[in-house]
Structure 1
Amino acid sequence: MAGVTSNTPYVLVLYYSRSGQTAEMAAQIARGIAREGGMEARLRTVPPVSPDTSAGLPDIPDQGAPYCSKEDLRHCAALAIGSPTRFGNMAAPLKHFLDGTGDLWISGALTGKPAGAFTSTGSLHGGQESTILSMMLPLLHHGMLLCGVPYSEQALNNTTAGGTPYGPSHWAGTDKPRPLTGDEKAICQTFGQRLAGLAIKLQT
């Protein structure tokens, strides 16, 4: 995943994570992408935003995935975006990044590429579905083809934690972080594999 070359088709897994739960979901999605031959996973994150406009961060984060560039987005074969829930919507850092992609919208760089969304929430009913659905709006504006999780994935029927047909979700907990369940991992991996498979079909 880290050694992706410019000639290798890839699914961009773009996420923002504060506590590490959304990052773990991204890693599970990348595992699913790897199951589909001929497609790589490129993990990227976005920096936090600050009300202090003079605040600055290094170009490369101290740990975790590198920061996403618009070139990463421009050249992806498919896209998965992930964020913790913020009042039923995506977190500001991810929206800030997407708000800056108007030039890609004008050029149609993402039109016709498959895409989907994933999220983690502190509470079980903390806006998982509304967050995923609201994250799909910029994808639709970019002309992307939406991908969810079909009920042929048995974990979607069995889960007692996160998991929606609109995209993977995780019940992260509030008092003590809850690890991803086996069902949540399976849903993430199915989602990643499905995105990669759709990207391959659309390229042929």
Structure 2
Amino acid sequence: MIRRLLDRLYGAGFVLAALALVAIAVLVLVQVLGRVIDKTMLAMGQEPVGIAITSLSELGGFLFVGAAFLALAGTLRTAGHVRVTILARSVGPVPQRMLATLVLMLALGLCGFALYSAWVQAWDSWTFSAVSFGMAKFPLWVPQGVMVLGLGLFWLALCDELIVVLRGQDAAFLRAEAEKGTQDGH
């Protein structure tokens, strides 16, 4: 039951990340179409409509950060993160498990620090009503909160993987690598 709940959380992160990328594509498409319509109107001797999305690059950047952070947990579970596996492949199963445990513990500590730092930054932005510098003033705690959410999911996924490895089972990313054929070097 908990496994299904966690997998659904990681999947929800993927879905939200995909929606953020779709939103970027739609915003850029609207901006491009607006320019095409304006150029066409000018070529016909008409006044341009003036379709423009204020602070598109800034909004796109926020959405991109959201997509990247929200996808971290699911990407870990599906072996999508770049890993150097040469050392892991050169040792036996017991040292490999010890290495996975060590790496997961280090990643958990680094992610915990990043999560804490992002939380403090988002809290400060909320407390001081900090806004972005662009023409459209976005409250900075919103994209920072999405970073916190993504890092929180990633921290949870790292805990999940560490518990699995400590129980003597293979981590999901190792199983995913084996299914892809990368474990054998193919």
Fold-level similarity (TM above 0.5)? no
Q: Choose between structure 1 and 2: higher strand proportion.
A: 1
Structure showing the higher helix proportion among its residues? 2
TM-score w.r.t. length of structure 1: 0.24
Q: Give the structure-2-normalised TM-score.
A: 0.26
Query: Which has the higher Rg, Structure 1 or Structure 2?
Result: 2
